[in-house]
């Protein structure tokens, strides 16, 4: 399995929009309402203008081309959010996509600490982050939702 990550480009606006409005993605999000296209475009263009925010597309090599399978966003404070496209869920791509994105961010940002805020009922995502090495930190409330905060710190010896 060969994965790569790349920064999001303007042409990815509808791809990210469709992934964001996926039923399971909305259910696991803090705001569960559907996203309007015009609101998404404003948000997306704002993200593209923020050099310290990294919105990445994860791509899987299928035959001779790379196919987008998900997105991972790192905010400038180190908060990560991660989703796999519906057609690729259940194929054990969560950990490899997280690994590829973490390698990218280690070498393309100044972030030393990454943190995730995950709803307690999102067991698959919790398992992915724990397997990768994120450590449970605390339970906190974010936008009225109880979440589990996980932290990952890059070590100096990490390659």
In a domain, 47, yes or no: yes
Q: 38: which 2 tokens?
A: 């015009």
In a domain, 158, yes or no: no
- C-alpha to C-alpha distance for 68 and 19, rounded to whole angstroms: 11
| pLDDT on residue 24 | 67
Non-local CB neighbours of 119 within 8 Å, separated by 6+ positions: 28, 145, 146, 147, 148
Name the residue range of residue 102's domain.
3-153
Q: Whose CA is closest to 2, among 57, 62, 58, 61?
A: 61
For the domain that residue 71 is a member of, what is the CATH number?
A: 3.40.630.30
Q: 108: which 2 tokens?
A: 């393309």
In a domain, 159, yes or no: no
In a domain, 128, yes or no: yes
Predicted confidence pLDDT, tens digits, the chain (159 residues): 899 999 999 999 999 988 887 776 666 665 666 677 898 899 999 999 999 999 999 999 998 999 999 999 999 999 999 888 989 988 999 999 999 999 999 999 999 999 999 989 889 899 999 999 999 999 999 888 899 999 999 986 554
In a domain, 100, yes or no: yes
Contact 47, 85 (CB under 8 A): no
| pLDDT on residue 32 | 65
Q: Whose CA is closest to 37, among 56, 13, 57?
A: 13
Number of domains composing the chain? 1
pTM: 0.88
């Amino acid at each position: 399995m060969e994965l790569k990550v790349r920064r999001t480009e303007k042409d990815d606006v509808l791809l990210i929009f469709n992934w964001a409005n996926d039923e399971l993605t909305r259910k696991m999000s803090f705001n569960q309402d559907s996203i309007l296209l015009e609101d998404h475009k404003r948000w997306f263009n704002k993200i593209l203008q923020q050099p310290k925010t990294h919105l990445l597309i994860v791509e899987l090599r299928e035959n001779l081309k790379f196919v987008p399978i998900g997105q991972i966003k790192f905010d400038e404070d180190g908060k990560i959010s991660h989703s796999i496209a519906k057609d690729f869920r259940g194929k054990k791509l969560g950990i490899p996509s997280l690994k590829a994105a973490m390698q990218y961010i280690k070498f393309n940002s100044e972030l030393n600490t990454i943190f995730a805020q995950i709803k307690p009922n999102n067991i698959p995502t919790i398992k992915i982050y724990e397997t990768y090495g994120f450590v449970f930190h605390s339970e906190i409330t974010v936008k009225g939702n109880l979440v589990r905060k996980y932290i990952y710190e890059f070590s100096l010896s990490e390659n």
